[in-house]
């Protein structure tokens, strides 16, 4: 009976620890995804800015 109590206590602690580790991994994965999302957003914004400036300069060249 005493062994069963120890097993239940250890088993509960392991499950609790595993759930904490899983939530930390999910949080870490989200932060990595957010980091790459910000990088891609910056790159696409830069490319769009270059395209808009090119369009403006081409229309100004065409009109003159």
Write out the DSSP string of 6-63: HHHHHHHHHHHHHHHHHHHHHHHHHHHHHHHHHHHHHHHHHHHHHHHHHHHHHHHHHH
Question: What's the pLDDT tens digit per position in 17-44?
Answer: 555 555 565 666 778 888 889 999 999 9
Per-residue pLDDT for 63 more than 80?
Answer: yes
CA distance 57 to 64: 11
Q: Which domain holds residue 8?
A: 1-64
pTM of the model: 0.52
Number of domains in the chain: 1
Q: What pLDDT is stored for residue 29 in this prediction?
A: 72
Per-residue pLDDT for 4 more than 60?
Answer: no
Token pair 């790459």: residue: 36
* Predicted confidence band of residue 1 (pLDDT cuts 50, 70, 90): very low
CA distance 8 to 57: 73
Q: What count of residues does the chain have? A: 64
């Amino acid at each position: 009976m005493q062994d069963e109590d120890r097993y239940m206590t250890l088993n509960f602690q392991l499950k609790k620890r595993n759930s904490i580790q899983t939530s930390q991994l999910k949080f870490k994965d989200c932060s990595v995804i957010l980091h790459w999302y910000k990088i891609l957003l910056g790159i696409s914004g830069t490319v769009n800015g270059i395209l808009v400036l090119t369009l403006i300069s081409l229309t100004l060249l065409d009109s003159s």
